[in-house]
Amino acid sequence: MAKAVTELEYLGMSGWQKFCYRFVTFFQRLPAVILNFFRVTIPGLGRRIWNAIKSVFRTIWNAAAHGDWKTRFSFVIFGFSQFANKQIMRGLLFFVFEFLFIIYMSLFGAGQLRYFSTLGEVERTKPGWGPNGEMIEGAVGDHSLLILLYGLLTILFILAFIYAWYASVKSAYAVQQYKEANQHLSTAKEDIKRLADAQYHKTLLTGPLIGLTIFTILPILFMIFIAFTNYDIDHLAPEYLFTWSGFNNFKALFDGSYGKGVEFGRVFGQLLLWTVIWAFFATFSNYIVGMIVALMINKKGIRLKKLWRTVLIMTIAVPQFVSLLLMSNMLGDEGVINKLLQTWGIIGSPIKFLSDKYLVKVTVIVVNMWIGIPYTMLMVSGILMNIPADLYESARIDGAGPVKMYFKITLPYVFHVTTPYLISTFVGNLNNFGVIYLLSGGGPTMSRARSGGAGESDLLITWLYKLITDKKTYGVASVISILMFLLTSILSLIVYNRSKAVKNEEDFM
């Protein structure tokens, strides 16, 4: 336990001590932060949601209780009140939406929703041959995947419809109130004008919002829904039906009950641990070594600075996948490096850079440095040049040596500026598909039986790829991606919030 220190004591610490102090206190405060999250943030959020719901129902109640016949009629026919009060365009838009919705539901939506609870009932009949060599035609069955997708779309559509109904009622009542107060009702022209002016944000956000819904929210919802189905290699649509399976996929991940001959729980645990270890080392090895390189190049008296920088940046100029594939070939058991070492008589048998389960982990971290260091070096070089020279000058006059100056001036300065970068790199490394996939392909295969083809150096993300492409266990894969999403988002949220607080409470200079 780090005991609380006074402000004066804290200021008297060296850069490293400060860093360590903050590191320890961060974890000391973490329980309180999490507790605070559950005791204050969530109830607060709950209250706000409750208030919002209350206000919605109050609006509806007011409109029903105090509305005139036009407003009340708007409960059934969208936009009636607006229409009757000569807000033609607005009324028309509401009405057209209701009209479209009814057509959609009666033609398609209702049908899709009917099957949504089972995800289809009729299995396909395959074509075949009769006893006399005549062809028996097959029949198309239900397509569970499409039913799920369209069912989801219909649900979203219904939610939109409910919202539009609320908006229509609210707007109708507002029109009535304006009318009663003898205020001016905006015309269609004015409305449009406002969209280009006071309401311009809505005009701007429409496109992104549509895009976000279709390309991000819908797929994410779809994926979450799949996590609750038994969609896998034995239930591939359109040939077979799949259906809801509750929390079976979640259970499979934690108690290993999944009957596909794979111990998902064990593999998941092992790979999660390795993923975190990898992210930690991949992030900090690049960071620290990159900083050291930048410092060395930046040092006064070093000649040909630009040349050194250029040499390092050359590795950025080569596309990452090219250098990774090359490295993968060079480091193989029969690769160039092993061949050369054997020819020179330095080693007898090949070093298993990529095929030993421990060595491969070291290899991927080291090769990742090759790719990452130039970026850190570039970034840190820029920051180093920004540190005011008079700081060093006065430190020198006070008799500080280079090591002291590094820990008192350079490190705090750089660390402060790059904390957000470190966090995003860490989270990025948790999902660093490219390096692992191209370099080791996740190999070597886990030697224990029932590992389902997972490799020793697989990250969760590359394992996910294997689960989807080779094993087609979509349900379990969805669960894993949900868990990964939770892991990365919670981690980044906490650390981002904390780092900002740290930044505000202390001034490094």
Partner 1 sequence: MRKRYISLIVCGALAASSLAGFAACGDGNKNGKPKPDAGTADDPIVLTVWASNDQQESVKQMCEAFKAANPDKVYDIKFGVVGESDAKSKMEENVQAGADVYGYAGDQTAALYGIGALSEVEPAVAEELRTRTGATYQLTLANGKCYSYPYAGDNGFFMYYDSSVVSAEEAKTLDGVIAACKKAGRKVHFDYTNSWYALGFAYGMGATYSYEWSGSKPTGFTTTLGDKGPDGVHSYLEYNGQMLKELAAEPTIQKGDDSVIGSSLNTRTVGAIITGTWNAGKVKAGFKAGWPSATYKDGYAATTLPKWKSSLDNKYYDWATMAGGKCYGVNSYSKNLAEAHKLAQFLSSDEMQLKRFQDNNIGPASATVAAMDEVQSNLAIATMLKQKEACSVTDGSKPQSYWDEAGSFATDMTGGTVTDLADRAAKMIKAMKDAVA
Footprint (CB under 8 A) of partner 1, residues 172-231: 174, 178, 186, 191, 194-195, 199, 202-203, 205-206, 209-210, 213-214
374 cis-preceded (ω within 30 degrees of 0)? no
Residues in Cβ contact with 84 at an 8 Å cutoff, skipping those fewer than 6 apart: 70, 91
- Give the closest residue to 145 by CA, choosing from 125, 122, 120, 110: 120
Choosing from 1, 3, 7, 261, the residue that interacts with partner 1 (CB under 8 A) is: 261
Q: Is 2 in the site for partner 1 (CB under 8 A)?
A: no
Backbone φ and ψ for 138, nearest 5 degrees, come out as: -85, 175
Q: Is 171 in the site for partner 1 (CB under 8 A)?
A: yes
Are the CB atoms for 437 and 462 separated by under 8 Å?
yes
Choosing from 128, 301, 345, 399, the residue that interacts with partner 1 (CB under 8 A) is: 128
Choosing from 97, 268, 413, 426, the residue that interacts with partner 1 (CB under 8 A) is: 97
Residues 359-388 that bind partner 1 (CB under 8 A): none
Choosing from 46, 127, 382, 388, the residue that interacts with partner 1 (CB under 8 A) is: 127
The piece of 43-51, 154-162, 277-285, 432-440 that touches partner 1 (CB under 8 A) is 154-162
Choosing from 10, 21, 75, 108, the residue that interacts with partner 1 (CB under 8 A) is: 108
Residues 413-452 vs partner 1: string with x where CB under 8 A? -------------------------------xxxxxxxxx
Nearer to partner 1, 249 or 376 (CB): 249
- SS3 percent helix, strand, coil of the chain, rounded to 5, is 70, 0, 25
Choosing from 140, 181, 346, 509, the residue that interacts with partner 1 (CB under 8 A) is: 140
End-to-end CA distance of the chain: 27
Residues 46-85 that bind partner 1 (CB under 8 A): none
Nearer to partner 1, 345 or 401 (CB): 345
Cβ 10 to partner 1, closest distance in Å?
Answer: 50
The footprint of partner 1 on this chain (CB under 8 A) covers a number of residues equal to: 87
Cβ 49 to partner 1, closest distance in Å?
Answer: 19
Where do runs of H (alpha helix) occur along 444-473? 460-466
Nearer to partner 1, 171 or 368 (CB): 171
Q: How far apart are CA 288 and CA 16, in angstroms?
A: 14
Residue 447: count of CB within 10 angstroms of its CB: 8
List, as own/partner pairs, every contact residues 243-252 make where C-beta atoms lie below 8 angstroms and the sequence separation is at least 24, other chains included: 243/118, 243/119, 243/120, 243/144, 244/117, 244/118, 244/119, 245/475, 248/475, 249/475, 249/476, 249/478, 249/479, 250/479, 252/476, 252/479
Q: Which amino acid is at 299?
A: K
Are the CB atoms for 482 and 227 separated by under 8 Å?
yes
Q: Which amino acid is at 114?
A: R
Nearer to partner 1, 178 or 392 (CB): 178
Choosing from 80, 83, 150, 415, the residue that interacts with partner 1 (CB under 8 A) is: 150
Q: Is 255 in the site for partner 1 (CB under 8 A)?
A: no
Nearer to partner 1, 69 or 99 (CB): 99
Residues 461-500 that bind partner 1 (CB under 8 A): 469-472
